[in-house]
A and B are shown apart, each in its own frame.
Chain A
């Protein structure tokens, strides 16, 4: 099941581990990405703290951690080819996997219908 944040991230939850990426809407708003910087495996992230950086031709933008947790895996493919985030943001363009500190925290995030209402 996908969950969403107001900061335009999506999370796919499996056994207390969230695969995290940015939404199709966010990828469209950012435009063609030219650079992605991901957290290191093992990094402890806190909710709303900086997790990653993406850059378009125009500007750098932060990607925030949607919840507390530890990074267990990162997607090197988007570092090698940032355009993957634009072409397939909600699947192949995932950013990192986060082992959640409290799996139940994800319940409070938005579902897809609520997120779609948010972005209008």
Chain B
């Protein structure tokens, strides 16, 4: 059987093909890895103007309390996620993650207060497991996958101008705001967020209208279609984690340097301290510290250091320290960039470590994340 025959497609599949995309299997979907522009130029275009990404493979899920009360849905989801969802204001979004009983990460997600319910967006590869997890643990909520909506991301310094062609009110939105807005008379849910380190938007569109909205955005001379290849190099330069690479069920959020995502209410002494899976470990790590941490890594030479490259304290490969979890060439940085885990003894910025690449030990320097200066519109 042809591998592609079992792949799912997004509502924009035919559009990708018409634009000349190179398609690859990704998380069970037939997705564009690059367009004729190529990864390098797609990356640079997104940082200079605006890029449109199809992220419809991600799971858009409604969590609604059977009581109809937002607070009940928020408190229910807080049992699975160590962030403050109760105090999230209507029309605002927040980053979080599902933790397991070991205090590690089952998936990361975006959570929006939509007034009387929550909208959560989860990773494609974890979608089915996340749905089952929420259904099993939120008996007083209805958990519904929105499988009839596309999701596109519009990212870059010209994203606001591109979207303004369809909706003049866009400039009133700030980073992490979420609004329901008609684009071409189609009810879309727009958030001012993304995964590139740039200002930008994610737009949820009823699937039957996804192509017309995407085409309308692509008509703008500053907007190009961008594939998963550039999406990865953009997020890595921005220091953002990729689930399955940088975070997974072997990493705690504290080890992953994501402690900023835990608000006061869920930490020791907070109004709703703990009460999520693995809280014992995560709160203990906040109090007592950790032994290893996710850090940025800048190879000193020109060779990219890819995921799973082993990290050593010395140039002879004698003392192993950890592993690279993501690594590529950063087109904006104009050099290789990576992230990985190191013992806290070797995690300070400026520390030199060595990565094993094709039998050689290449020097790398621990670097502050992100590698670029984000341009979020706060």
25 contacts between A and B (CB under 8 A): A31-B39, A31-B40, A31-B229, A32-B38, A32-B40, A34-B40, A34-B302, A34-B336, A35-B302, A35-B303, A35-B304, A35-B329, A35-B336, A37-B358, A53-B358, A55-B303, A55-B304, A55-B329, A56-B329, A57-B43, A57-B230, A57-B233, A57-B328, A58-B229, A60-B306
The A interface, classified by DSSP as helix, strand, loop or mixed, is strand
Cα-based distance from A59 to B304 in the complex (angstroms) = 9
Top-5 shortest CB links A-B: A32-B40, A34-B329, A57-B39, A57-B329, A58-B229
Cα A53 to Cα B230 in complex, Å, equals: 21
- Please count how many residues in chain B sit with their CB below 8 Å of the partner chain's CB atoms: 20
> Interface residues of A toward B: which range?
10 to 19
Q: Inside 8 A of A59's CB, which chain B residues have their CB?
A: 306
Do the beta carbons of B303 and A37 come within 8 Å of each other?
yes
Residues of B within 8 A of A32 (CB): 38-41
Known contacts A31-B34, A34-B329; is-contact A60 B40 (Cβ 8 Å): no
**When each residue 299-339 of chain B gets 1 if its CB lies under 8 Å from chain A and 0 otherwise, what string results?**
00011101000000000000000000000110100001000
Residue of B41, B230, B358 with most chain A CB atoms under a 10 A cut-off: B358
B306 close to A56 (CB less than 8 A): no
Contacts A35-B303, A55-B304, A57-B329 known; 13 new A-B pairs at CB < 8 A: A31-B34, A31-B39, A31-B40, A31-B229, A32-B39, A32-B40, A32-B41, A34-B304, A34-B336, A57-B43, A57-B233, A59-B306, A60-B304
> Which residue of B38, B302, B328, B358 is within 8 Å of A31 (Cβ)?
B38
Q: How far is the CB of A55 from chain B (nearest CB, A)?
A: 5
Q: Which residue of A lies closest to B358 (CB)?
A: A53
B residues in contact with A34, CB < 8 Å:
40, 302, 304, 329, 336
For the complex, give the distance between the alpha carbons of A34 and B306 in Å: 13
Is B214's CB within 8 Å of the partner chain A? no
* Partner pick for B39 among A37, A53, A56, CB 8 A cutoff: A56
- Restricting to B117-170, which residues have a CB under 8 Å from any CB of A? none
Chain A: which residue is nearest B42 at the CB level? A57
Q: Which residues of B contact A60 (CB under 8 A)?
A: 304, 306
Residues of A within 8 A of B229 (CB): 31, 57-58
| B303 pairs with A57, CB closer than 8 A | no
**B336–chain A nearest beta-carbon distance, Å:** 8
Interface residues of B in 268-325 (CB under 8 A from A): 302-304, 306
Q: List residues 32-64 of chain A with CB under 8 A from any CB of chain B.
A: 32, 34-35, 37, 53, 55-60
Q: Mark A102-120, 1 if CB is under 8 A from B, else 0.
A: 0000000000000000000
Q: Does B52 contact A (CB under 8 A)?
A: no
B299 to chain A, nearest CB (A): 10
* In the complex, B33 has a CB within 8 A of chain A: yes
In the assembled complex, the CB of B350 is this many whole angstroms from the nearest CB of chain A, namely 24
Query: A25: shortest Cβ distance to chain B, in Å?
Result: 14
B38 partner residues in chain A, CB cutoff 8 A: 31-32
Q: How many whole Å from B223's CB to the nearest CB in chain A?
A: 21
Residues in A with CB closer than 8 Å to B39 are 31-32, 56-58
